[in-house]
Each structure stands twice: as C-alpha cells, then as structure tokens.
Chains A and B, each alone.
Chain A
Amino acid sequence: METENDNKPSARKIALLILIIIFSSFILYYTVMSMLAPLHTLAEIKKEFSPEQSGKKKDDNRILTDSAYLKLIKERAHLQSGIIMAETDSIYLIINLADSSMNLEISGVVVHKSKMNSFKASRILTNGNENIISSMLSTPLTISSAISTIKKEPVMIKMAPRDTSEYKPDMMPDTSITEPVNYILVMTNGIRIYVYQEEEDKRSERMTLFKFDLNDRLTQTWKALKRVAVFKVPEYHPYLKIKLPRSDAKIIYRAIPKNGQISLFI
C-alpha cells in the first residue's frame, strides 16, 4: 500500500519541472526573437533605401514589380558601385552571383578571376525587395573586420646576426605546407561574406572548418543571447556563403586590403 506522502511529487521534482519549463520557455522566446530579427533588419534597410526616401512619387510603385525595370536598376547599381571603386588605386573585389564569378580588380582592370563552386545567400539578399536591395548595393560594401584561419600577412620575424659568424643564408621556403583557407569578411553594414575552400580532402581540413564555423556560431549566438536577455531583438546579419578553390580563396584574402571594398551583383 502506498501512503499519501508517496503520491505527492517531491520538492526536487517540482524544482526540476519548473527549471525545464523555464528553460523551454527561454528557448521558445529566443527562437521567436531570432525569427523577428530578419524582419527588423529588413525594415531598417527599407527605411534607409526605399525609393520614397529618395523622393520618388508614390504612383511609381507599379514599376517596382516590373522585370525589365528591375533588371536595369540592378545593372546600373552594379556599374555605379564598380565605378566608385575603380576611381581609387586600391585593390577591390567584385562578386557577381549572376555568373558565379569573383574578380579582383585594381582601377577597373581585372587582375584575378575566380569561379565560385557554389554559394548560398541570405533570403534578404536574394528574395528581398529587389528595388531596395539594388539601391543598397549601388554603393560598395566596406570591410570592417575579418576572421580567418590564415594570416593576412604571413610575417616571420628574423633577428639580425650580431656578426658574420652568426649569419645564416636564407633557406628555400617550404611551399608544400597548405593550410586550410576559410574566412569571414564582415561589412560595415552588417553583411557577412563567408569564404570557404572547396577542397575538403583531409580530415584535418574538415575539422578546421567545423571548429571555425562552430566558433563563429558560438560568438554570434552569445551576442544574440545577450540582446535577448535584455528584451532586445538580436541583430540579424544578411550573409553570403561562398565555396572557392583554396588557391583563389587565399589570393583574394591576401590581396584585399583590411578595409577594402566589395561590390555585390545579385
């Protein structure tokens, strides 16, 4: 026979149940807030780049769903952005999703061409309001920071010999070492461009990519959790994930300046 006390759940059980409920509610709350984040970003982009902001009339709205018009404004935005960058003497990058190319240019001259193996873009960029996105991309994107698995400048420090007896002639550099090339270029407007090497032959390369991706996810999630904890919608960063041959990925990363410019043609 069970006593009445045995039927009552223990305090520990109640505490556990409450904890599970709180935990599940927080996850649900975080998920909802994260789903609201892109809408928030989209609203901000609309506010900044909508045609109404540039003084266009309201009756122009029908034109915004016209394919011929949209195609032309996209092309114009791409050229406008390219010209702005070509006027500088700096190295810049042109990413063309329409023909899957990624070209390095200096003053309008293509110095390096590369072909994307695959890419994945945020829905805001590909499915968002084309008119607004074109307006946003008519000016070049500027890199604010970068995270990478390789060094931007592979500087080796060499101490000068005190006299000729300490002098050792330079050895031939070891070019057989191939390090995995994965990096993220963070733009000033929040767009994040992920470049991954397409070669994943070695287990160590897959592991490096996994760790690199996990580290970024943890950083982004931590930032989002901090915002959600104070009842703020987390920041949403439109992204572009590109797979390139390792050599091309390395060339682009080493060539583009720290605060270099990028033009995106979607």
Chain B
Amino acid sequence: MENDSIVNSGSQAGPENSLPDNGSGDSHNLLQPIDSFRKKLLSNRKLVFILKTILITIATIGLTISSILFILYFVPVLAEITSGHKTVITNDKELAQSAAYKKQLSLITKDIQRFSRKYNAYTSGQSYIVINTTDNRFFLYRNKQLIREGFCSSGSYTMLQTEGNKKWIFKTPKGKYWIHGKTTNPVWKKPDWAFVEEGLPIPPKDDFSRYEYGVLGDYALAIGDGYMIHGTIYKRFLGMPVTHGCVRLNDEDLEVIYNTLNIGSKVYIF
C-alpha cells in the first residue's frame, strides 16, 4: 500500500501536474487523512472485530426481515400468478347454428325465468317492517314501497347475572317473525328479571306488583316468545340499544306501524 502511494505521488509530480490548478493533487491531499484513519482503524484489532460483528448483525437482521417480508407479502402475490387463466371465448359460429346449442340455451333461459319468478315471489306485496338492530332504525314497507323510516331502540346486549348464577341476556332476536297479536293501551306484566334488575324480591306469578300501566305507549304488537314492538316513555334513548329485547318506537311511528301492519304481517329483524 505504501509503495502504491509512493508510485502514485511520483506520477503526479510530473511537469504537467506541477501547475497551480492541479485537481488530482488536491484529491490526494484529501485522501491522505482518510487513508491514515483507515490504517489506524485496521491496526486496532478490537475495534475491527466490533465493527465486523455490528455489520454482520445488521446484515443478518436485514436478511431475516427481508426474507420474512418476502414470505409474508411477496409469495402470496407470486402464487396468484399461477392461480387461473381466463377462459378463452371462442363463440363458435358453427356451434351457434346447431340445434343442440339453441336447445341448451333455451332450457337454461327457461330455468332462469322460472327461478326469477320464484325469487321475486318471496318479496311480499303486503305490508312488512324491517328492523336494523345495529343502527336502531326501522323501515316500514307497503306494496314493496318504503312508506316510513325512523329510529327505534332494540336490545342492549346486557347480561344480567345473579349471585346464584341465574342469567338473562337482553337482546332482540334476529330473523323472520310475524305479528301474533295487536293491543291498544298495553299493560306490562313485569317478568322476574325486572325485579332482579332493581334488587327487589321476585313476587308471585300474578301479583299486582307485576302489572305496570302506561309504560308501553298506546299500542303493542306481539312478535312471539314474549317480544313486542311497543311505545316508550324513554324517548331520548331512541336510536340506541337500551331495551330488554323488545323494540321501542316513538308514539307517531308506533301509531302508523300499528295501523299498517296486520296480524300475520312479516317482521324482519337483523
């Protein structure tokens, strides 16, 4: 190395390089401290070892991370390349003229017509109500047309648990239901959980304390299993999941629904 630098400096000391504006000479001067620093660095074996270890560690970590990223993100992309080739459409003219082809297509078209008729028949022309328990909204339909929508309150998803490990879960059931009965000025016959929830002793089955007047609004529509669509005195909670499973509505909406739906009308809850 030393010989090299001597040779280099010798060649630069020629007559053409002795001009004051000599760029290569400047760079040589600049390289000298770097070179001496490198020599010093290499002479310190401990430092070299530490630097080597750091570099190897960084390289290993880098390689490992890139391999993981390659496996996690790039391999699935590569796998997609082999995952299918689009059907080449030929639309064979000779085939299109054949009777067998026409017959096959006509059979499928008939199937489609039949299935479409069947499918459309599922949507009733009668009145029905749709209740969205996630957003706490209702949608009332008549003759397949939306006639009213608004806020309601549905089950709170609270699980009431006693020390004796008795449990009640307050959620509105989902699926297809229908109106079992319609009542005006309904009276709430409080079930056991209504007393448990307030820390009261459970009274006998037909005790007068079980009957509460005026809390269910002017109308109630039973949908089975004890669940009802009714009014509420807690109107500020409409649009929120706060009930024990029934669907609460405001007075105006409840009246329209009561007058629109008949016994047997469908109630779709999701």
Contact = CB atoms under 8 A, between A and B. Distances in A.
B101 A159 contact: no
A100 B124 CA distance: 25
A204 to B, nearest CB: 22
Interface stretch (A2-10, A140-148, A249-257): A249-257
A262 to B, nearest CB: 15
Interface in A108-139: 108-112, 122-131
A137 to B, nearest CB: 14
A66 B199 contact: no
A65 B88 contact: yes
B79 A236 contact: yes
Interface in A207-266: 214, 217-218, 221, 236, 238, 247, 250-251, 254-255, 257
Interface stretch (B3-11, B20-28, B30-38, B127-135): B127-135
Contacts of A153: 157, 171
Interface stretch (B40-48, B102-110, B180-188, B217-225): B102-110
A89 B115 CA distance: 19
A35 B86 contact: no
Given A38-B83, A76-B111, A165-B199, A30 B132 contact: no
B135 A251 contact: yes
A126 B199 contact: no
Interface string A21-56: 001000100110011111101100000000000000
A123 B67 contact: no
A155 B157 CA distance: 5
Contacts of B18: none
Interface in A74-92: 75-76, 79-80, 82-83, 86, 89-91
B208 interface: no
A60 to B, nearest CB: 8
A129 B237 CA distance: 53
Contact of A155 (B123, B159, B200): B159
B199 A172 contact: no
B122 A66 contact: no
A14 interface: no
B241 interface: yes
Main secondary structure of the interface of A (DSSP, over half): helix
Main secondary structure of the interface of B (DSSP, over half): mixed
B192 to A, nearest CB: 11
B161 A160 contact: yes
Interface residues on A, range: 35 or more
A62 interface: yes
B135 A62 contact: no
A17 interface: no
Given A91-B175, A162-B163, A34 B84 contact: no
B149 interface: no
B49 interface: no
A24 to B, nearest CB: 9
B116 A79 contact: yes
A66 B90 contact: yes
A18 interface: no
Contacts of B122: 86, 107-109
Given A167-B198, A251-B132, A91 B112 contact: no
A107 B240 CA distance: 27
Nearest to A170: B242
A68 B108 CA distance: 11
Interface stretch (B91-99, B247-255, B257-265): B91-99
B108 A89 contact: no
A257 B269 CA distance: 12
Contact of B123 (A31, A68, A109, A173): A109
Contacts of B124: 109
Contact of B176 (A82, A106, A166): A106
Contact of A122 (B83, B105, B109, B112): B83
Identify the interface centre among B67, B101, B122: most chain A CB within 10 Å of its CB. Answer: B122
A62 B92 contact: yes
Interface string B144-180: 0000000000001111111100000101001110000
Contact of A37 (B70, B79, B132, B135): B79
Given A157-B158, A247-B134, A255-B134, 16 more contacts: A42-B84, A66-B95, A69-B104, A69-B105, A72-B109, A75-B112, A76-B115, A82-B115, A106-B270, A107-B176, A108-B119, A111-B270, A165-B199, A170-B156, A217-B76, A247-B135
27 contacts: A35-B78, A35-B79, A38-B82, A41-B83, A63-B104, A65-B87, A66-B90, A66-B92, A66-B101, A67-B91, A70-B89, A79-B112, A82-B115, A82-B119, A83-B115, A91-B174, A108-B120, A108-B122, A109-B130, A112-B132, A122-B83, A123-B80, A131-B87, A173-B241, A217-B73, A236-B79, A255-B174
Give 7 closest A-B pairs by Cβ, nearest first: A108-B122, A38-B83, A161-B199, A79-B115, A255-B270, A128-B84, A123-B84
